[in-house]
Structure 1
Amino acid sequence: MTYDIKRGVSLYSFQNDTFLGRMTLEDCIRTCAEMGAYGIEIVGEQTFHGWPEASVADADIAAWHDHMKHYGTTPVCHDFMLDYKRYKGREMPFDEQVASVRKDIDFGARLGVKFIRSLVSVDPSVLVAAAPYAEEKGITILVEVHAPLHFDHPWIMRHAEAYEKSGSKALGFLPDMGVFLDRYPRVWKERFIRNGCPQDAADFIERCYEDRRLSEYVINDVMLKWGPGPQVAMAETLRHNSAFSPKRMLDYMPRIHNIHAKFYEMTEELTEWSIRYDEVFEVLKKGGYKGYICSEYEGNRWVEDVQEVESVEQVRRQQLMFCKLLGEKAPQTLTARAA
């Protein structure tokens, strides 16, 4: 059986490689194409120097489209950042927020994407006000459902209600799979131990996560037994991460148009250590999801203190897992380990 779920990559996954100059934009796009992951998602600030403060030159946009054509890839989504709280030392007024979103809509249209991703902190009224312009440009604005928020959170429900009331089809959701963190990530635990967290404290916090204990209780217990330090920082991660059920996506599926396949560690057995992607894909199939699921590697910051970050290899493994879960034959260029 075939599905309409398509494989893609957020170039955010390669942030270490691009920052250190090991990979150019073309290198990133070619690498994705070689994996058969033809959907390309970007964070504008990472991919195009100077954006959004400075306009992106027509030549750079032309080169982007040349790469898309040459490698057979598809522009999927531009992730924009509306940091309205820190804008020029003041909070950005409503009208300026809307204007800023319109600017990203224009940029998305230049890139040829169908979607632009909004941070979850943006007020729904801002996105609703920008929706008519998005419709004119053929763009859909997707708010990212990102931990610690989830589909039953009042803020996300407020977005959903505002979208329905607006009647606009240019508003939707982009779930980040980090919302479904089933196990405490192994690379997180190991990094906190290297930072000075006692082994027994780390074991205790991990067990508490597995038991789904309330984060504030865990933080209090850690403070009482081990005192302040990196162990408290580790315990505080429980405030921002929970194991919600992927089934909650079903009620929102008509407005879900792109997915961030967040991951921290792909094992050699082609499983993600902390997220049950088999359950995620079963829900997507059941819901009839038609869109891209884009690899988003964020394990880099947890291992870069002790080893070379292998972003390409980690993405390769996740794409192989996607092929398996979709019943798709992996291209030969994907089966060979990254050099």
Structure 2
Amino acid sequence: MTYDIKRGVSLYSYQNDTFDGTLTRDDCIRISCELGANGIEVIGEQSFWGWPECGVNEADVAAWHESMKRYGGVGVSHDFMLDYKRYKGRPMPFDEQVASVKKDIDFGAMLGVKFIRALVSITPEVLVAAAPYAEEKGIKILIEVHAPLHFDHPWIIRHAEAFEKSGSDALGFLPDMGMFVFKFPNVWKEKFMRLGVPKNIADYIEKAYEDRVLSEYVILDVREMGGTGPAIAMAETLRHNAAFEPKRMLDYMHRIHNIHGKFYEMTEDYVEPSIPYDEIVKVLKQGGYKGYICSEYEGNRWIEDVEEPNSVEQVRRQQVMLARLLGETETPALKTPLAA
């Protein structure tokens, strides 16, 4: 059966495993496809050694295509990094920024993906200038709408207005579901407590987040409670994260072509406690979204001080949750045992 909303995985989810050599890129593609999440999203720097500094390794790109063919993968997006403020110790001029984006468009075309992800820091003028080239290559450039930004933020509105004025279909958005953190993640709280945050302060910050108390007030209150160091850092996470409304995606759905299924923890009963995926999927269905939701596991960094992250199991659990929310009848499961 074909579903309008499709399941995928950002290989960023397996960053610990690829860094320590536990999983190869081929392993990551196989695991994802076995789970029925055949939409594959990559970060070039993670999955292709030497990119972009050393250019394209044609054998590596050929191996990517072989893996995708072998397991039935579909290339969704290449997430590129343009840190133009710190390029070789100097700001990157406008023309160089555009040329850099075009280089990533070429790389995305080589990988056979339909989209490339742009960091939210890139100005709309750069993307508009690169759009005609993206159109020629059959690529869409999607700016990631990532917390603390959201669809009512002036910077995102500025992009939306520029995209519409350009008239180009090659410009769009990639919402990150980290915009919709309705509850303070358990793994965050536990990590801060291991760093020395007293339980009463951690409990206060958690409750203040759920009550949507202004972050600056929370930071001030924590100071007055005697909090220092890690306690202040925990309070400061409220500056970056917020519970924006999933329904705000509806006004931009015509330019939303990929979704980052951010998650920090999947419980044994297939629930992400901090992000309301049931509401998110309802909104996407209402808006007629037909693209991929790509798992993006970021809970690893919050637990690796006390345990080895099991990224594969966490991705599996989210894929089970997504399959259920999408009305699929089969439960995603791995078919090939992982090597010991």
- TM-score, normalized by length of structure 1? 0.98
Rounded to whole Å, the distance in 2 between the matches of 1:330 and 1:119 is: 35
Give the match for residue 93 of structure 1.
93
Rounded to whole Å, the distance in 2 between the matches of 1:180 and 1:309 is: 23
Rounded to whole Å, the distance in 1 between the matches of 2:267 and 2:235 is: 25
C-alpha deviations, 1:84-103, integer Å up to 9, x for none? 01101011111110000000
Does 1:59 pair with 2:70? Answer: no
Give the match for residue 151 of structure 1.
151
Q: What secondary structure, in the 3-state scheme, does the structure 2 residue paired with 1:56 have? A: coil
The Cα RMSD (Å) is 1.5
**Residues 146, 176 of structure 1: 8 Å contact kept:** yes
Does 1:167 pair with 2:167? Answer: yes
Does 1:196 pair with 2:196? Answer: yes
1:227 Cα deviation (Å)? 3.6
Rounded to whole Å, the distance in 2 between the matches of 1:330 and 1:320 is: 9
Does 1:127 pair with 2:127? Answer: yes
Give the match for residue 114 of structure 1.
114
1:3 Cα deviation (Å)? 3.7
| Amino acid corresponding to residue 296 of structure 1 in structure 2 | E
Q: What secondary structure, in the 3-state scheme, does the structure 2 residue paired with 1:226 have? A: coil
Unmatched runs of 5 consecutive residues or more in structure 2 = none
1:181 Cα deviation (Å)? 0.4
**Residues 3, 285 of structure 1: 8 Å contact kept:** no
Instruction: Tell me which moved more, 221-230 or 16-25.
Output: 221-230
**Residues 264, 297 of structure 2: 8 Å contact kept:** yes
1:50 Cα deviation (Å)? 1.0
Rounded to whole Å, the distance in 2 between the matches of 1:20 and 1:336 is: 21
Go from structure 1 to structure 2 and tell me whether the alpha carbon gap of 1:274 and 1:174 turns closer, same or farther (over 3 Å shift): same
Does 1:275 pair with 2:266? Answer: no
Rounded to whole Å, the distance in 2 between the matches of 1:111 and 1:227 is: 49
Rounded to whole Å, the distance in 2 between the matches of 1:95 and 1:125 is: 11
Rounded to whole Å, the distance in 2 between the matches of 1:125 and 1:237 is: 30
Rounded to whole Å, the distance in 1 between the matches of 2:208 and 2:337 is: 36
1:228 Cα deviation (Å)? 2.1
| Amino acid corresponding to residue 230 of structure 1 in structure 2 | P
C-alpha deviations, 1:303-322, integer Å up to 9, x for none? 00101101000000000001
Instruction: Tell me which moved more, 79-88 or 1-10.
Output: 1-10
How many residue pairs match? The answer is 339
Give the match for residue 6 of structure 1.
6
Rounded to whole Å, the distance in 2 between the matches of 1:62 and 1:336 is: 24
C-alpha deviations, 1:41-62, integer Å up to 9, x for none? 0011000111111112111111
Q: What secondary structure, in the 3-state scheme, does the structure 2 residue paired with 1:200 have? A: helix
1:294 Cα deviation (Å)? 0.2
Rounded to whole Å, the distance in 2 between the matches of 1:141 and 1:279 is: 27
Rounded to whole Å, the distance in 2 between the matches of 1:81 and 1:136 is: 21
Give the match for residue 22 of structure 1.
22
**Residues 36, 334 of structure 1: 8 Å contact kept:** no
1:2 Cα deviation (Å)? 6.5
Give the match for residue 291 of structure 1.
291
Give the match for residue 78 of structure 2.
78
Give the match for residue 41 of structure 1.
41
Give the match for residue 179 of structure 1.
179
1:330 Cα deviation (Å)? 2.5
C-alpha deviations, 1:154-208, integer Å up to 9, x for none? 0000000000000000000000000000100000000000011111110010010
Give the match for residue 253 of structure 1.
253
**Residues 323, 332 of structure 2: 8 Å contact kept:** no
Rounded to whole Å, the distance in 2 between the matches of 1:249 and 1:299 is: 24
Rounded to whole Å, the distance in 2 between the matches of 1:2 and 1:238 is: 39
**Residues 31, 334 of structure 2: 8 Å contact kept:** no
| Amino acid corresponding to residue 214 of structure 2 in structure 1 | L
Q: What secondary structure, in the 3-state scheme, does the structure 1 residue paired with 2:173 have? A: strand
Q: What secondary structure, in the 3-state scheme, does the structure 2 residue paired with 1:262 have? A: strand
Does 1:217 pair with 2:217? Answer: yes
1:24 Cα deviation (Å)? 0.3
Q: What secondary structure, in the 3-state scheme, does the structure 2 residue paired with 1:99 have? A: helix
| Amino acid corresponding to residue 190 of structure 1 in structure 2 | E
Unmatched runs of 5 consecutive residues or more in structure 1 = none
Q: What secondary structure, in the 3-state scheme, does the structure 2 residue paired with 1:295 have? A: strand
The alignment-based identity, stated in percent, is 72
1:209 Cα deviation (Å)? 0.1
C-alpha deviations, 1:199-227, integer Å up to 9, x for none? 11100100100100000010011112224
Once superposed, which parts of structure 1, at least 4 consecutive aligned residues long, lie more than 4 Å away? 334-339
- TM-score, normalized by length of structure 2? 0.97
Q: What secondary structure, in the 3-state scheme, does the structure 1 residue paired with 2:127 have? A: helix
Rounded to whole Å, the distance in 2 between the matches of 1:332 and 1:310 is: 17
| Amino acid corresponding to residue 202 of structure 1 in structure 2 | A
Rounded to whole Å, the distance in 1 between the matches of 2:314 and 2:284 is: 23
**Residues 78, 116 of structure 1: 8 Å contact kept:** yes
**Residues 265, 314 of structure 2: 8 Å contact kept:** yes
